[in-house]
């Protein structure tokens, strides 16, 4: 599905930030815009700061790598910042590990998170590692990753704006990433118009089901007759 880098309205952002990621994922399913096995980043990429709540932003995709030898080129570094500045916010840096050994390099920390924040980013998502956990948390900046690593080693930004794969999910620049402590779902632009009603329907159906299951009239045979999502 094609994506865009159009700025999200304040009302859309307020709505998306007010809904947890599993409910967003369930609501998108009812719109039948993609296969149910698609549209979310796998569980190896975990929320590091769940107290910050919901992260919403358009992705800027980059690939970073790490190799021994001479200090890596900085060309990609500035291309990344140029692209991020051009997007406006809110945005999310989506970083794919290209080293094959993501446990051996931190691709960003306090300095890069601060620069990213000044350029409109609200978080970073990676299948690699980041660092400076306390300092970045204090910025109110989201981290989604498998683990921290202490050193930036010899990281290099090898591509900016190209599609990447994060734990089984293709992510493209411009994709809307919606994440919380449960993980990250990609919100299609085509879903935005119908999503509020779909979310309301999901919430009503879940509330009705939970009330029945918890209630005095609960009957398993009747439960089997009720439809799922």
Q: State residue 86's pLDDT score.
A: 96
Q: Distance of CA 131 to CAs 5, 39, 134, 138, Å? A: 28, 27, 9, 13
Asked whether residue 101 carries a pLDDT value surpassing 50, the answer given is: yes
Q: Name the CATH superfamily for 10-189.
A: Ribonuclease E inhibitor RraA/RraA-like (3.50.30.40)
Q: Please provide the DSSP assignment of 76-133 as one string.
A: HHHHHHHHHHHH-SSEEEEEEE-SS-GGG-B---HHHHHHHHHTTEEEEEESSEE--H
Q: State residue 210's pLDDT score.
A: 93
Mean pLDDT of 50-75: 95
Mean pLDDT of 51-70: 97
Give, rounded to a whole angstrom, the gap between the first and last alpha carbons of the chain.
23
Confidence of residue 52 (pLDDT cuts 50, 70, 90): very high
Q: State residue 227's pLDDT score.
A: 67
Question: Locate tokens 């916010």: which residue?
Answer: 89
Mean pLDDT lowest for which of 40-44, 141-145, 176-180, 225-229?
Answer: 225-229
Mean pLDDT of 44-59: 98
pLDDT digits over 112-171, tens only? 999 999 999 999 999 999 999 999 999 999 999 999 999 999 999 999 999 999 999 999
Domain boundaries, the chain: 10-189
How far apart CA 46 and CA 143 sit, in angstroms, is 8
Q: Structure pTM?
A: 0.94
DSSP-derived 3-state class of residue 219:
coil
Q: Where are the beta strands (DSSP E) in the chain?
A: 40-41, 46-47, 55-66, 91-97, 121-126, 129-130, 142-145, 147-148, 155-160, 164-166, 169-171, 176-180, 183-187
Q: Which helix (H) or strand (E) holds 52?
A: none
Q: What are the φ and ψ backbone dihedral angles of 130, each rounded to 5 degrees?
A: -130, 180
Confidence of residue 4 (pLDDT cuts 50, 70, 90): low
Query: How far, in whole angstroms, is CA 89 from its chain's centroid?
Result: 14
Mean pLDDT of 170-191: 98
Confidence of residue 225 (pLDDT cuts 50, 70, 90): confident
Mean pLDDT for the chain?
Answer: 95
- Sequence-ordered list of residues with C-beta below 8 angstroms from that of 14, at least 6 positions apart, any chain: none
What are residue 170's DSSP bridge partners?
A: 165
Asked whether residue 2 carries a pLDDT value surpassing 70, the answer given is: no
Burial class (CB in 10 A: 0-12, 13-18, 19+), 116: buried
Asked whether residue 72 carries a pLDDT value surpassing 60, the answer given is: yes
């Amino acid at each position: 599905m094609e994506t865009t880098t159009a700025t999200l309205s304040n009302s859309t952002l307020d709505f998306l930030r007010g809904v947890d990621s599993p409910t967003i994922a369930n609501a998108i399913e009812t719109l039948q815009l993609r296969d149910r096995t698609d549209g979310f980043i796998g569980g190896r990429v975990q929320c590091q700061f769940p107290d910050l709540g919901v992260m919403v932003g358009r992705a800027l995709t980059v690939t970073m790598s790490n190799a021994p030898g001479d200090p890596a080129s900085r060309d990609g570094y500035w291309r990344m910042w140029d692209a991020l500045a051009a997007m406006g916010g809110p945005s999310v840096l989506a970083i794919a590990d290209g080293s094959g050994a993501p446990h051996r390099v931190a691709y960003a920390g306090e300095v890069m998170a601060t620069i990213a924040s000044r350029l409109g980013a609200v978080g970073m998502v990676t299948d690699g590692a980041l660092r400076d956990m306390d300092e970045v948390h204090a910025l109110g900046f989201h981290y989604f990753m498998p683990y921290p690593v202490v050193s930036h080693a010899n990281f290099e930004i090898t591509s900016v704006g190209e599609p990447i794969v994060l734990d089984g999910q293709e992510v493209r620049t411009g994709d809307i990433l919606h994440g919380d402590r449960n993980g990250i779902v990609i919100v299609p632009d085509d879903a935005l118009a119908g999503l509020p009603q779909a979310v309301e329907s999901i919430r009503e159906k879940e509330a009705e089901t939970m009330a029945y299951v918890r209630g005095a009239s609960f009957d398993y045979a009747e439960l089997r007759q009720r439809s799922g999502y």
